[in-house]
A = this chain, B = another copy of it.
Amino acid sequence: MTSPSNVLRFASQQNVDCRACHLSSLCLPQGLSLEEIAELNDIAQPLAMLRKNEALFLQGMPFTSLFAVRSGSLKQVTTTETDEYLVTSFFLPGEMVGLDAIGEKSYPGSAVALETTTVCELPFERLDDLCASLPELRRRFHRNLSQEVHNERLMLRLLLRRTADVRLACFFFAMSERFRRRGYSPYRFRLAMSRGEIGNYLGLTVETVSRVLARYQQQGLLDIHGRDFHILDLERLSRLTEASGRRGAAG
């Protein structure tokens, strides 16, 4: 249980132009006018840099900003009242961190870098103001939030009634899609998280993750070397994903 050592060390020496944040690669600004994007960029803060195990924010810190991942990756973890350590999300480049904090006064979990990671900050106060004047942004923003609700709900509800095999297939398929959407190869990628973190995220033990991966490897579905994954048969993986669960039934 490696607790994050430091918090949010801004690389303030490199006073990067806001546009370096490449907000345009985020889903939020799609469909906005150039002027609107410019306005949005204006509120974005310079890049911040995190090293492995450093936290972008800690659970319970007052909510002030959303963050866009520029490079690297993070996990979000929540510690429950019963001292359970739950990995609730992973964030890849181009994705938005902190959406689930908007309603709260404070962040509901800690965002911890899985490797060297850069992010840019979007002060929520200003984003909120901007929403008032830019209807398209507001709509985009609502859509983003809402899809988050929807995805999580369906995803987890499906996971709930899936075997370990299928859960992992879903995980890799989803990861593949996320890489594809951002313009990376959907077939080959490196995931910075450990087996334990994947297991935690999916509600499985390390041992089970390891065993299932071994089986996949031996079936020629994936080629795995440490944390480098190579999807050999995406088609079959996708079919596995759809294998119907076993639990629960009618309505």
Interface pair B159/A103, CB less than 8 Å apart:
no
Oligomeric state, in copies: 2
- A141 to chain B minimum Cβ distance, whole angstroms, is 8
Interface residues of A in 156-179 (CB under 8 A from B): 156-161
Given the interface pairs A150-B104, A153-B88, A156-B160, the reply to whether A142 lies near B139 with Cβ below 8 Å is no
Interface pair B88/A157, CB less than 8 Å apart:
yes
Q: Which residues on B sit within 8 Å (CB–CB) of A199?
A: 248-249
> Is A29 part of the contact surface with B, judged by Cβ < 8 Å?
no
Interface pair B251/A158, CB less than 8 Å apart:
no
- Flag the segment in A35-43, A44-52, A74-82, A227-235 that touches B: A74-82
Counting from the closest, the 10 A-B pairs by CB-CB distance are A103-B146, A160-B203, A156-B156, A103-B143, A102-B146, A103-B147, A200-B248, A100-B150, A100-B149, A145-B145
Given the interface pairs A78-B154, A104-B150, the reply to whether A245 lies near B85 with Cβ below 8 Å is no
Complex formed: what's the CA distance from A77 to B32 in Å? 33
- Flag the segment in A5-13, A130-138, A184-192, A210-218 that touches B: A130-138
Q: Which residues on B sit within 8 Å (CB–CB) of A161?
A: 203
A-B contact pairs, 9 of them (CB 8 A): A80-B158, A87-B251, A88-B154, A102-B143, A104-B150, A128-B142, A156-B156, A156-B157, A200-B250
Complex formed: what's the CA distance from A156 to B155 in Å? 10
> Is A33 part of the contact surface with B, judged by Cβ < 8 Å?
no
Given the interface pairs A156-B156, A248-B203, A249-B200, the reply to whether A146 lies near B86 with Cβ below 8 Å is no
